[in-house]
Amino acid sequence: MLDDGVRRAAVLGHPIAHSLSPVIHLTAYGLLGLPWTYDRVDLTSEQLGDWVSSRTSEWVGASLTMPLKSDVLPMLDRVDDLVLATGAANTVIFGPEGRRGFNTDVHGIVQAVAQVGSPGSPTVLVIGAGATARSAVAAAARLGASSVDVLARRPEACADLISTARACGLDVGITEWGSADVDLGYDVVLSTVPAGVADSLANAVPTRPGVLLDVVYQDWPTPFARAWQEHGGQAASGLEMLLHQGLEQIRLMTGQTVTAEQIRPALLNAAAQR
């Protein structure tokens, strides 16, 4: 049978119907002239192993949401340094070299921040201490920070995040959320908490704020981001992070590149219809 060039990829998670990743990937495939498919696959942690092991040769890769980003690690043959540092692979590539894992969330954070402007050697605050916060800490290193401060509701649960900071060569300081007046006077603030959690920080925005990335992208701007912008600060949404991490996934899967400007209109349109 002749190879018709069709390849397959998908985003995995539970639930997954809300994912905008297909918009990014399918728009890119169209621009690149690739007859590829990219689907949403509703998959739990218990189902992941069977799914990964049963992929056939037409499969090029998969995007993963939590908790699959960490669950997939024992199933991979090779991982990049960022996966080792963050304990999460949001991208799996299938090919002759086996199953390879990558973390493109870090790239997405870096590019989203750089788009609105970041000074060299910035001071960085990460809000939250979950899986996305670990990628944010790694991104702080990529942005040129020498240390990172973390605002966490449960400082005792920050062991993994501290490990990420050390793996990236960063000093790290942990402050308990609510233990004192919140200081947001940093060059870069990376809010990694779910929608609504950071709303109270709108009252703590400094007079001259720096750059904010709020990973929330529905009902944008959030109250926190709106207050940041009203005080003259630059703010990027999680939609930009999603876009740029997806562009890096496309590069890994196809070996080709498209630009954010080529994909952003379709992504914004899809997001507006949610």
pLDDT over 60 at 168, yes or no: yes
CATH topology of domain 106-239: Rossmann fold (3.40.50)
228-264 pLDDT tens trace = 999 999 999 999 999 999 999 999 999 999 999 999 9
In the predicted model, what is the mean pLDDT of residues 73-80? 98
Close Cβ partners of 41 (under 8 Å, ≥ 6 residues apart): 10, 11, 12, 16, 51, 62
Query: What is the structure's pLDDT at 1?
Result: 34
Would you say domain 8-104+242-272 falls under CATH 3.40.50.10860? yes
* Domain limits, the chain: 8-104+242-272, 106-239
Query: What is the structure's pLDDT at 66?
Result: 92
198-227 pLDDT tens trace = 999 999 999 999 999 999 988 899 999 999
3-state secondary structure at position 233:
coil
As given in the structure block, the two tokens for residue 248 are: 């890096």
Instruction: Work out the percent of the chain whose per-residue pLDDT is above 90.
Output: 92
| Distance between CA atoms of residues 174 and 121, nearest Å | 20
Asked if 172 and 137 count as a contact pair (C-beta separation under 8 A), the reply is yes
**By C-alpha distance, which of 116, 113, 106, 119 is closest to 145?**
119
| Mean pLDDT, the chain, whole residue set | 95
Backbone angles phi, psi at 73, to 5 degrees: -55, -45
pLDDT over 50 at 26, yes or no: yes
Catalytic sites, residue numbers:
69
Q: Do domains 8-104+242-272 and 106-239 have the same CATH topology?
A: yes
As given in the structure block, the two tokens for residue 98 are: 């086996």
Query: What is the structure's pLDDT at 2?
Result: 38
In the predicted model, what is the mean pLDDT of residues 120-137? 96
In the predicted model, what is the mean pLDDT of residues 111-140? 95
| Distance between CA atoms of residues 159 and 77, nearest Å | 26
